[in-house]
Amino acid sequence: MMYEKFTNGPLNEFFPWADTSGDIINASDGGVIYVDGVYYWYGQALRPLPVARDGKGGQTTTVGVVMYKSADLYNWDYCGVILPVSDNPTCEQYAPMRYERPKIVYNDKAKKFVLWCHYVKYPGDHGDTKGTAEAGIAVCDNVDGTYQWLGTTRPIDEKGLVRDSTLYKDHDGTAYFIYDKQVGDDRCLHIVKLSEDYLSCTDDYRRIDVCFWREAAAIVFYNGWYFMFTSGLTSWDTNPALYYRARSLMGGWEAMGDPCIGDVTGTTFESQSTFIFPVEGNKGQFILMCERHNTQNFERCSYIWLPINFPAPGEMKVEYLESWCIEDYWK
C-alpha cells in the first residue's frame, strides 16, 4: 500500500502508522535527518518492561534506536536497529534501559553522524543512582549504520542532572545540546555549545531562565528568528505547549505563549513535541513532529506531524489537521 498523506487521526484516538512492510512504526521521540535525497526517521523502539520496578515512568524500555527511510516522507522502509541495547550487565547499555529523545546531526568536518540522547540507565530510576541522569553520545560514519556508543557525560557541572534533551545544528555548523538541567527543584532548560567534533560539551553555555520547568524542546530558525517549541513537565501525560523566540541561540529568549491554534483542552493536541525538520528544497516549510504517548501500549503510539506557520515575523503557529499532505497544504 502506498501512502500519500500524513494521517494524525482524531484528537482522542491512537492512530499508529505502518511501514512499507505493513509493520507498525515504533520510533519514539526521535527526529528526521535528510541525507543525499533521502529522509531518515529515527527514534527509540519502546517495549513494555517484563517487570516494572516502580509505578511511574518505569513501565517501558527499548530495544534501541531504530531507523526508517523515505523519499517522500509518507512511505517508510525499516532499516533496522542503529543503536542496540546490550545483554552484558557490566555495560552502560545493559537492558532494560532507554535512549530517550535521540537526536542525530552530521558533522561536515569529521564526516560523521553524531547522536546525543537522554540516557536512562534503568527505566524508573531517573537520577537517584549515580550515572542514571546523563547525556549519552554515539557516532557513526553512515547515517543508517550501527552507531558506536562513546559513553555518557554530564554537561556544565556534575550536580546538574540531565533530563529531557535535544540537539540543534546551526547554519554556521555549530551544534548545541539543549537540556532540562535539574538541581533539586530547580529545573530549567540550558543550552550548551558542543566541541567542533560534536562529541563533547564546551564551557560555553546559557541558562534559559524563561524556560523554567519545560522540556521536549524542538527548535527551528526562520527569517531571522529562532523558535523553540516546548512542553511542560508531566512525564508521559499531556500539557499545554509554550513557545519561545530569540534572535540568537545564546541570546535572550522571550516567552510567546501557546502556539497551538484551538487547543481547547490544553494538551498540545493530545501530544508532546519531539522535533522540527524542514521539507527539503521548499523555503519556509517545516514539519513539527509530536507524539501521542500510548501508556497502555507504547508500541502503538501515535505520530502527530503538523505543518508550522509563521503568520507574522517572529511568530509561530500550529493547527491540528487529522490528515494532510505537503503538496496540497503549501500549494
Residues engaged in binding ligand DGJ (CB under 6 A): 29, 57, 100, 164, 215-216, 235-236, 272
Characterize the bridge pairing of strands 98-107 and 112-120.
antiparallel
Taking the complex as a whole, how short is the minimal distance between the CB of residue 64 and ligand DGJ, in angstroms? 16
Taking the complex as a whole, how short is the minimal distance between the CB of residue 232 and ligand DGJ, in angstroms? 9
Taking the complex as a whole, how short is the minimal distance between the CB of residue 313 and ligand DGJ, in angstroms? 30
Taking the complex as a whole, how short is the minimal distance between the CB of residue 178 and ligand DGJ, in angstroms? 13
> Do the Cβ atoms of 220 and 276 come closer than 8 Å?
yes
Nearer to ligand DGJ, 19 or 100 (CB): 100
Nearer to ligand DGJ, 107 or 166 (CB): 166
Cα–Cα distances (Å) from 265 to 122, 194, 262, 291, 313, in that order, read 33, 38, 9, 16, 27
The CB-based long-range contact list for 44-47 (8 Å cut-off, 24+ gap) reads: 44/98, 44/99, 44/100, 44/102, 44/117, 45/81, 45/299, 46/298, 46/299, 46/301, 47/298, 47/299
Question: Among candidates 167, 178, 174, which has minimal Cα distance to 211?
Answer: 178
Nearer to ligand DGJ, 45 or 216 (CB): 216
Taking the complex as a whole, how short is the minimal distance between the CB of residue 214 and ligand DGJ, in angstroms? 10
Nearer to ligand DGJ, 126 or 193 (CB): 126
Nearer to ligand DGJ, 16 or 58 (CB): 58
